[in-house]
Amino acid sequence: MPAARAVQYLRMSTEHQRYSLDNQAAANLAYALEHGIEIVGTYRDAGVSGLTFERREGLKSLLRDVLAGQLGAEMILVYDVSRWGRFQDPDQAAHYEFLCRQAGIGVEYCAEAFANDGSPAATVLKSIKRMMAAEYSRDLSRKVFAAQVRVAQAGYHAGGSAPYGLRRAVVDDAGRILLVLQDGEKKLTATYREKLIPGPEEEVACVRRIFRLFTITGLRQRSIARLLNEEGVPFRRGRPWRGHTVRMLLVNPAYVGEIRYNRRSIKMGSKAVANPVSEQVITADAVEPIISTALFNRAQEIIKAGVCRLTDDELLDRLRVLAASGSKLSSALVDAAEDLPTAGVVRKRLGGLKGIWAMVGADIGGRPYRVHCRRYADQDMLDRLKALFEREGRLTYELINRSPELPSPTTYMKRFGTLRRAYALVGYECPTAPRTSFKIKYSDDAILTALGQMVMANGRATRAMMDNSPDLPSSSTIERRFGSLTRAFAAAAQHPSSGGGVA
């Protein structure tokens, strides 16, 4: 009897050595040998938190292959329930497991003391384990936050990069400086603390000059940024100055010796939230000041007085004036306009810049703009696709991409699984036979030949094009076979079938 085939999913954040990817793989292998299972593939998320789904590219790839029927295995091996995820809603982890089970793929937790056999006992134990995994993250978050608050209250630096013009210094219990850290460097041991100290003289002088230019000369933040860039004065890590970087410098109380911790919260994988002053941890005289309190307060008064709250209509009117200049759309163009907020603020208020340019009647050129602000119903998407089919007599990725009245091909794939399924729903049958089963085996030669032909015919080969080609397995399968898509392209370029045409 042939051995059952399985893939394994590995995930490690940074929490504990026993959860290293190698240790998980060893435990999974021992389980597989004991139960007569052959491990044929690995999906991994290294250094990724289990709190959210967004950054779990390995899990995304796994579920994508499961739903597309391209896994090439009958089961998934996972070290334990917490490796599947520490989602704060336990039903989220259960949902992903259900998707696998619905596709005929079992999930086995190798280090758990119970068998995941669908019995009432297993179901109850999994639910408890998922709640424990979620509570572990919540409890750890509370403990870390409490420790960071104590560090900040003692006047130490509680995490993050040092502001421009300051540096992080490692100090001992007596406050003696042991080492000055540069950006990206970390202290060797957790028993030492970090304090902020004045940085290089040229940076300190630049900070003082920025405050003088703003409060005495009267230059605006973007004008200061433009001046510094023209003079070749670099921001951190050689990056150029922007209006918002000047603003962040002007409002940072560290320059007058005050540390404020918990100005923003990013807890449990959620979005950043600005906290009121009452929730911030404020410690005075924690840093040697490099500007006077009077100068800092004057800067805050100017910033507060200069805040201009434009309505959406007023903002659009000013954008129309900018668009009438005929300049090419760019974030830099918006950032350079003195009578407009930054491009980031404009996007947050009105949406993407391409959509805004279309709203104000400017020519955006290039590919057609699609209105992304509305959500298409499934039937509406199919009706539009059918109209395109009736007009063109065929359907392709490029035809959909060039049609502004349709959502993007990627949207169709996300909604209906693949473009072929969407085509079938409107009565169009592709002229070539699709991949019908994960049991189809593609040789390396066949993959490289088809990949080379795709690049030569289209000038490129995207994941979407590979996933919808009947001549290729999924992009994730190609990635696993050759180590990466870059390596696959390189091999295709050297393959005899390419004739040297793939680069």
Higher per-residue confidence, 165 vs 329: 165
The three-state secondary structure class of 43 is strand
| Dihedral sign from CA coordinates of 288, 292, 295, 298 | positive
pLDDT in tens, 55-70: 889 999 999 999 999 9
Return left, alpha or beta for 172; rule: phi > 0 is left, psi -120 to 50 is alpha, else beta.
Answer: beta
The mean-pLDDT minimum among 110-114, 207-211, 310-314 falls in: 310-314
Q: Which residues make beta-bridge pairs with 76?
A: 7, 107
Assess contact for 15 and 84: CB atoms under 8 A: no
Q: DSSP states of 164-229 as a string?
A: TTEEEEEE-TT--EEEEEPTT---S-TTSEEEEEE--HHHHHHHHHHHHIIIII---HHHHHHHHH
Coil/strand/helix, residue 408: coil
Q: Which contacts (CB < 8 Å, 24+ apart) does range 382-386 have?
A: 382/422, 382/425, 382/426, 385/412, 385/422, 385/423, 385/426, 386/426, 386/427
Question: Do 497 and 491 contact (CB within 8 A), yes or no?
Answer: no
Predicted pLDDT of residue 329 = 62
Instruction: State how far the Cα of 292 lies from the Cα of 6, in Å rounded to an integer.
Output: 66
| pLDDT band (50, 70, 90) for residue 436 | very low
Q: Burial level of 468, CB count in 10 A (0-12/13-18/19+)?
A: buried
**How far is it, in rounded angstroms, from Cα 37 to Cα 77?**
10
The CATH H-level (homologous superfamily) assignment of domain 166-305 is Putative Large Serine Recombinase; Chain B, Domain 2 (3.90.1750.20)
- Where does the pLDDT of residue 440 fall: very low under 50, low under 70, confident under 90, or very high at 90 and above? low
110 compared with 499, residue with greater pLDDT = 110
The overall average pLDDT reported for the chain is 82
pLDDT at 500: 47
pLDDT of residue 433: 46
Evaluate if residue 416 carries a pLDDT over 80.
yes
pLDDT exceeds cutoff 80 at 330: no
* Domain boundary assignment for the chain: 4-137, 166-305, 312-359, 378-425, 444-498
pLDDT at 502: 44
Taking domain 4-137, whether its CATH number is 3.40.50.1390 is answered by yes
Average confidence (pLDDT) over 328-345: 73
CA–CA separation, 426 and 439 (whole Å): 28
Q: CA triplet 320, 321, 323: central angle to 5 degrees?
A: 60
Is residue 210 over pLDDT 90? Answer: yes
Full-model pTM: 0.52
The amino acid occupying position 363 is D
- The C-alpha atoms of residue 488 and residue 480 are separated, in whole angstroms, by 10
* pLDDT digits 0-9 by tens, 223-245: 899 899 999 999 988 889 988 89
pLDDT confidence of 123, banded at 50, 70, 90? confident
Weakest-pLDDT range from 78-92, 212-226, 479-493: 479-493
59: nearest Cα among 39, 86, 29, 34: 86
* pLDDT computed for residue 71 by the predictor: 93
332 half-sphere exposure, CB direction, 13 A CA radius: 6
- Quote the tokens at residue 449: 């030949």
